[in-house]
């Protein structure tokens, strides 16, 4: 396995190469401008949005778009839009940070992310100069509000199976759209629809910019949903809707590519929003635990509650570590491509494409840690957590959609492995060489080595070994099933879970190592505990997923050797995880908020 090279990692290379802590970005390195934007977002949410939560959930007419208007006046809708079109022109990290801050606002966060992401970015990255000049300034200020029409009744995860049709007129001046879209967020008040349809008998979708004023658009009634009740979600029907030919977005037959590239951005942004929501819920959980008295003491003093508070924080901290590591990787890739002569929009898309695997990882992990945090939040509140009068009711219901949004977590787990293998087959990353090296290592005498008390020695060894475990299992599965591996979804999911745990664990380790190098070990004792707790648990999760995979396809001597290898690669040194969690919880309780 390749070690510590100065050359920047490509997307997916975390599996076969090591990263130095000095080369990653951590939240403590935000610039003054980034922190100012974050504070503006937070102040806006606390001052303007949160007080209106009940009115938003009741879908009061005009309220949600008016809040987007106010966000636009502050420039929050144009963080990613270039200055020439009325935006702030900020980098990817800043975009993630603003999304995280807005994430605590529930329904509003969904409307905000839809408008600034899938409602705006297709035009920013794929629009021609005329389309950008016409629509981006309005989108950046909120004068125009956007939505994204991809999903159909028979085309959810299989988006390219959509049946909406576009027919070019004989004079080639307009397209006539006919079809049905469903689950369209912001559709009730959107001025602009990014619509995907197939032209004639094309194999792939094309994309169109459709204005609300065009004839032939009909909206169904608002959907009644489990959560995010205040968001506008309707079916949209196109009945002989005439769209000017110049509103074709990108190239004909190129819409599916647009959809997938934009979803890559949406996935990592969803993780950012989920992180913001998780931090907010952790703060509420700690505050309630510090107030609720049972058996003569506040419940935050009980070990079982401390476990919950600590684990909430451990998972959020780990998510944050990976989120901003990946965001910096994307920014670096974009800068490198621009310096090589690629224009800004194409460089941004290519930079994000290179880290599509990491984006899928973040989507899965971010949505699932939020689900964990809100579930434990309900439990910490006890009976009051089940009351609709308390914040956990709304948070619990709102959270659930995130595992379905932007591609289900099942689809994203499959994509993690599929995209890694595709990049390997294209020669973009070398997986085969390291996998073969691990195979040889399995047949050799184990190198027990000398353990060390050096800071991070054990955790770095654990992370290196997790990579070997994944390469061993994934390599054997790929060799056994070859082209048929895609049909073994259970095994792919096992491997994906191993990869997800590795990426988050390594990101966590690198963040804390860099933090210690800046602030010193004594100042970072709680962060060290958080990192050790997560990595020790991650090793156990990798062991379980690895065994499930091995049991599913290996037999006899092959199975025995692989199980021995897995045991070797997931071995840890005893660690008092209870005391570490108590240290973490005590810090939260002392600060009475999420404080990391």
Catalytic sites, residue numbers? 406
- Radius of gyration, CA atoms only, the chain: 24
- Smallest CA-to-CA distance from 512 within 494, 531, 488, 499 is with 531
Q: How far is CA 379 from CA 373, 395, 399, in A?
A: 10, 13, 15
Q: With the CA atoms of 302, 303, 309 and 310 taken in that order, what torsion angle do they form, in degrees rounded to the nearest 10?
A: 150
- Smallest CA-to-CA distance from 354 within 46, 596, 1, 8 is with 8
Q: How far is CA 322 from the centre of its chain?
A: 10
Residue whose tokens read 């602030």: 519
| H-only helix segments in 382-488 | 391-399, 409-425, 432-442, 457-481
Cα distance between residue 13 and residue 427, in whole Å: 12
- The answer to whether residues 543 and 498 touch, using CB atoms and an 8 Å cutoff, is no
> Burial, 221: exposed, middle or buried (Cβ in 10 Å; 0-12, 13-18, 19+)?
exposed
- Helix (H), strand (E), coil (C) string for 367-393: HHHHHHHHHHHHHHHHHHHHCCCCHHH
| H-only helix segments in 74-128 | 92-102, 107-116, 121-126
- How many CB atoms sit inside 10 A of residue 161's CB? 12
- The answer to whether residues 253 and 202 touch, using CB atoms and an 8 Å cutoff, is yes
Rounded (5°) CA angle 220-226-229: 60
- Smallest CA-to-CA distance from 439 within 429, 431, 450, 448 is with 431
Cα distance between residue 363 and residue 274, in whole Å: 9
- The answer to whether residues 188 and 234 touch, using CB atoms and an 8 Å cutoff, is yes
**Which residues, including other chains, have CB under 8 Å from residue 551's CB and lie 6 or more apart?**
559
């Amino acid at each position: 396995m390749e070690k510590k090279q100065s050359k920047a990692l490509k997307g997916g290379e975390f599996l076969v190469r090591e990263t130095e802590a000095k080369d990653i970005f951590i939240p403590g390195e935000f610039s003054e401008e980034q922190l100012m934007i974050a504070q503006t977002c937070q102040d806006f949410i606390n001052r303007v949005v949160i007080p209106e939560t009940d009115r938003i959930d009741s879908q009061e007419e005009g309220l949600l778009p008016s809040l987007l208007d106010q966000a636009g006046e502050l420039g929050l809708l144009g963080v990613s839009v270039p200055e020439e079109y009325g935006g702030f022109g900020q980098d990817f990290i800043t975009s993630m940070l603003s999304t995280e801050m807005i994430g605590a606002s529930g329904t509003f966060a969904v409307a905000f992310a839809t408008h600034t992401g899938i409602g705006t970015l297709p035009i920013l990255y794929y629009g021609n100069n005329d389309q950008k000049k016409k629509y981006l300034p309005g989108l950046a200020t909120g004068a125009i509000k956007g939505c994204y029409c991809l999903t159909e009744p028979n085309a959810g995860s299989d988006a390219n199976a959509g049946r909406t049709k576009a027919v070019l007129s004989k004079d080639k001046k307009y397209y006539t759209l006919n079809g049905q879209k469903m689950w369209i967020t912001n559709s009730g008040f959107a001025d602009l629809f990014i619509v995907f349809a197939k032209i004639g008998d094309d194999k792939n979708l094309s994309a169109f910019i459709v204005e609300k004023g065009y004839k032939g658009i009909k909206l169904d009634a608002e959907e009644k949903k489990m959560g995010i009740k205040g968001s506008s979600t309707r079916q949209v029907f196109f009945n002989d809707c005439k769209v000017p030919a110049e509103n074709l977005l990108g190239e004909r037959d190129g819409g599916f590519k647009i959809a997938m590239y934009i979803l890559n951005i949406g996935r990592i942004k969803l993780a950012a929003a989920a992180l913001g929501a998780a931090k907010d819920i952790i703060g509420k959980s700690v505050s309630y635990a510090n107030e609720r008295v049972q058996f003569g003491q506040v419940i935050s003093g009980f070990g079982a509650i401390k476990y919950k508070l600590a684990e909430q924080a451990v998972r959020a901290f780990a998510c944050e570590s990976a989120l901003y590591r990946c965001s910096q990787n994307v920014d670096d890739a974009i800068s490198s491509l621009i310096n090589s002569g690629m224009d800004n929009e194409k460089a941004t898309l290519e930079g994000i494409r290179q880290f599509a695997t990491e984006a899928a990882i973040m989507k899965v992990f971010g949505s699932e840690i939020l689900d964990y945090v809100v579930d434990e939040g309900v439990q910490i509140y006890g009976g009051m957590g089940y009351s609709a009068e308390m914040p956990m009711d709304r948070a619990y219901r709102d959270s659930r959609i995130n595992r379905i949004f932007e591609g289900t977590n099942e689809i994203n787990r499959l994509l993690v492995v599929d995209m890694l293998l595709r990049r390997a087959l294209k020669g973009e990353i070398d997986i085969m060489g390291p996998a073969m090296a691990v195979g040889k290592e399995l047949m050799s005498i184990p190198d027990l080595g000398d353990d060390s008390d050096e800071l991070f020695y054990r955790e770095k060894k654990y992370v290196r070994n997790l990579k070997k475990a994944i390469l061993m299992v994934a390599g054997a599965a790929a060799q056994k099933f070859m082209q048929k591996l895609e049909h073994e979804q259970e095994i792919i999911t096992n491997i994906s879970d191993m990869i997800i745990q590795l990426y988050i664990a390594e990101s966590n380790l690198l963040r804390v190592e860099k933090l210690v190098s800046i602030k010193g070990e004594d100042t970072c004792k709680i962060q060290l505990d958080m990192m050790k707790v997560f990595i020790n648990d991650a090793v156990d999760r990798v062991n379980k997923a690895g065994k499930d995979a091995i049991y599913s396809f290996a037999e006899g001597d092959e199975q025995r050797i692989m199980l021995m290898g897995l045991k070797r690669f997931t071995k840890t040194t005893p660690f008092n995880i209870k005391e570490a969690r108590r240290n973490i919880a005590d810090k939260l309780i002392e600060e009475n908020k999420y404080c990391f």
